[in-house]
Amino acid sequence: MKITKKEVEHVAHLARLELKEKDKEKFTEQLSDILTYVEKLNELDTKNTETTSHVISIENVFKEDVIKDSISLDEALNNSPEKEHKHFKVPKIID
Amino acid sequence: MKLFQMTIHDLHEMLKKREVSCKEITNSVFERIDKVEDEIKSYITITKESALKEAEEVDRFIKNGDNISPLTGIPLAIKDVLCVKGIRTTCGSKILSNFTPPYDATSIKRLSDQRPVFVGKTNMDEFAMGSSTETSYFGITKNPWNLETVPGGSSGGSAAAVAADECIAALGSDTGGSIRQPAACCGIVGLKPTYGRVSRYGLVAFASSLDQIGPMTKDVRDSALLMNVISGKDPLDSTSADIPVPDFTKALIEDVKDLKIGIPKEYFVEGMNKEVETKVWEAIKLLEKLGAKPKEVSLPHTDYAIATYYILATAEASSNLARYDGVKYGYRTKEKKDLLKMYKKTREEGFGPEVKRRIMLGTYVLSAGYYDAYYKKAQQVRTLIKRDFDEAFKECDVLITPTSPTPAFKIGEKMEDPLQMYLSDIFTISVNLGGIPAISLPCGFSKDNLPVGLQIMGRHFDEETILRVAYCFEQNTDHHLKKPEL
């Protein structure tokens, strides 16, 4: 499967990644190679094979709804790159 | 033998008899770090100050005459993928280079309850994506056996720290071989538990359906001792299994009589590294001499494991790594005209090339129009790979293979060719897809004096049998006693 530079740009946008021009070219080539490699899965007939998303069979896991201590507001904000008045600060969203 | 060279169980006996203090052990480990760390670079963060304080507390505790557990006072290293409260946790990435977790991972909490001494956080491939520890934002770790070769990865820092005696034992994490392959490259013991055996709470997520935390140790007994502590159901991880945890040290018996050992023929193919092949066959012959019954088996879908893995793991990673947006924690770009631009720039500047490549691949295979062709297809093939194991374990108690197709490779050798790098996990990846446990332990050395690893795979939640086979092999060989010259 060959992937185009345009597709790389589209996927980068979906992934919220800005790519440098030289990275776009490198990824176009490398992702094409990897996608070609993984196409070997098409050698297998899986028409009637179920999917496995999780190997250990677990049914819904429930627990009692008990209120417990959580981390404090200060601790939660401690790692934020920018904060103001007990909030995470981000660039302006609405004009 | 110096204190820093010893095992958990050796030191525990000495601590119990009051032949040594925790402070002496801890000082010995830090003397070793001072001597070799500049060359090896196992650690991202060394926590000497808090470690010495912990050591003093342990000594007071022992003096009070309290009963000590096997891990009390033992200097441990932790892969920098596990959250330790108050200690910077980077995951080998610029994007988390300033992150200090406000909580402990469950495995760390369980260890802490036993009062070990935490020496530091070890280097790793960025977000555990790699097989050589070369993708870390914090630089390259060297293999203690040969400073021109990689220690394997992604838990290369933990493996190197154990091999170079810069700690007594360590924790790693394994998504496609990241405990076992570096353990093999560095000549130590690495165990990936059954999926669900160890809580993943506080483990920075890479691929949630494949990730497991496990011990990296100097011998098999130490592996069992760490497993005793970190295993078990955790309400904070709904995928942790509610299955009783045995005393794994009880499984360490020197007896493999009549155990059925499967040799998957797909793992011994034309063109494989001759030295690795020879050492693994010698190991199988030794186990046969000790009474085990080897038998050829087939895992017919082995050849599809890497393709399956690189679809599923990258898909899960692209979703897990969406959280790094420069808002709540971690690195944020200086350029922040608008929110979308800020996200994109932050991620461009914060992630390294391998992480970006995997986010791109994962986003692509999940994107509209490609989901069925790639992601669903890979999930179906995962079923076939899992069934291969189910079939094989109907007639065998364990499976034995090489851990890695070659001994440690040269630094830089595979960095320009991602696919070649991915292929170094060819023997370890199926285990994660099947969710089964596997251990790697040293089974000899190449002519260049690089360790070769033997992999033993077991049934779901049967870590006991792989530990037993590994123990029996180890007790009849001396590979685990060899130390690199540093």
Q: Give the pLDDT confidence of B113-147 residue by residue, as tens digits.
A: 999 999 999 999 999 999 999 999 999 999 999 99
Is residue B227, in this structure, part of any structural domain at all? Answer: yes
Decide if B343 touches A, using CB distance below 8 A.
yes
Contact B100 A27 (CB under 8 A): no
For position B113, what pLDDT does the model report?
A: 97
Is residue B180, in this structure, part of any structural domain at all? Answer: yes
| B103 → closest Cβ in A18, A71, A90 | A71
Pairs across A and B, CB distance < 8 A: 164
At B436, the pLDDT band (50, 70, 90 cuts) reads very high
Decide if A57 touches B, using CB distance below 8 A.
no
Q: Give the pLDDT confidence of B316-336 residue by residue, as tens digits.
A: 999 999 999 999 999 999 987
Average pLDDT over residues B398-408: 96
Is residue B452, in this structure, part of any structural domain at all? Answer: yes
CA atoms within 13 A on the CB side of B327: 16
Q: Active-site positions of B?
A: 79, 154, 178
Decide if B269 touches A, using CB distance below 8 A.
no
Average pLDDT over residues B33-58: 98
Q: In sequence order, what DSSP letters do the residues of B210-252 get, joined into one string?
A: T-EEEEEESSHHHHHHHHHHHBS-BTTBTTS---PPP-GGGG-
Q: What is the distance of C-alpha A28 from the center of its chain? A: 19
Chain B positions touching A31 (Cβ under 8 A) are 357, 360-361, 364
**Amino acid, res. A32:** S
A64: Cβ–Cβ under 8 A, 6 or more apart, which residues? none
At B418, the pLDDT band (50, 70, 90 cuts) reads confident
Chain A positions touching B335 (Cβ under 8 A) are none
**How many domains, chain B?**
1
Decide if A73 touches B, using CB distance below 8 A.
no
| A34 → closest Cβ in B330, B337, B419 | B419
Contact A41 B303 (CB under 8 A): no
Decide if A35 touches B, using CB distance below 8 A.
yes
For position B483, what pLDDT does the model report?
A: 97
Chain B positions touching A75 (Cβ under 8 A) are 102
What mean pLDDT, rounded, does chain B reach? 96
Question: To the nearest whole angstrom, how far is the Cα of B13 from the nearest Cα of chain A?
Answer: 38
B317: Cβ–Cβ under 8 A, 6 or more apart, which residues? B127, B129, B206, B207, B358, B359, B362
Contact A34 B382 (CB under 8 A): no
Q: Is the pLDDT of residue B270 over 80?
A: no
Decide if A93 touches B, using CB distance below 8 A.
yes
Decide if B327 touches A, using CB distance below 8 A.
yes
Chain A positions touching B363 (Cβ under 8 A) are 11, 14-15
Is residue B419, in this structure, part of any structural domain at all? Answer: yes
Q: Which domains does chain A have, with CATH numbers?
A: 5-43 (1.10.20)
Is-cis flag, bond preceding A70, omega within 30?
A: no
In this structure, of B1-10, B266-275, B304-313, the range with the lowest mean pLDDT score is: B266-275
Helix axes A21-38, A5-14, angle to 10 degrees: 100
Is residue B332, in this structure, part of any structural domain at all? Answer: no
Three-state secondary-structure class, residue B119: strand
- List the CATH number of the domain containing B475: 3.90.1300.10
Chain A positions touching B94 (Cβ under 8 A) are none
For position B457, what pLDDT does the model report?
A: 98
Is residue B311, in this structure, part of any structural domain at all? Answer: no
| A37 → closest Cβ in B307, B348, B353 | B307
Rg (CA), chain A: 23
Residue B308 and residue B433 in contact, taking contact as beta carbons nearer than 8 Å: yes
- Global ipTM: 0.95
Is residue B357, in this structure, part of any structural domain at all? Answer: no
Nearest CA in chain A to B354: A27
Chain B positions touching A71 (Cβ under 8 A) are 102-103
Which residues constitute the domain of residue B117?
Answer: 3-258+397-481
Decide if B387 touches A, using CB distance below 8 A.
no
Contact A19 B348 (CB under 8 A): yes
Question: To the nearest whole angstrom, how far is the Cα of B373 from the nearest Cα of chain A?
Answer: 9
Decide if B195 touches A, using CB distance below 8 A.
yes
Please give chain A's pLDDT, 95 residues, in tens: 789 999 999 999 999 999 999 999 999 999 999 999 999 999 999 999 999 988 887 778 888 899 988 899 999 999 999 999 999 999 988 87
Is residue B335, in this structure, part of any structural domain at all? Answer: no
Phi, psi of B465 (to 5 degrees): -70, -40
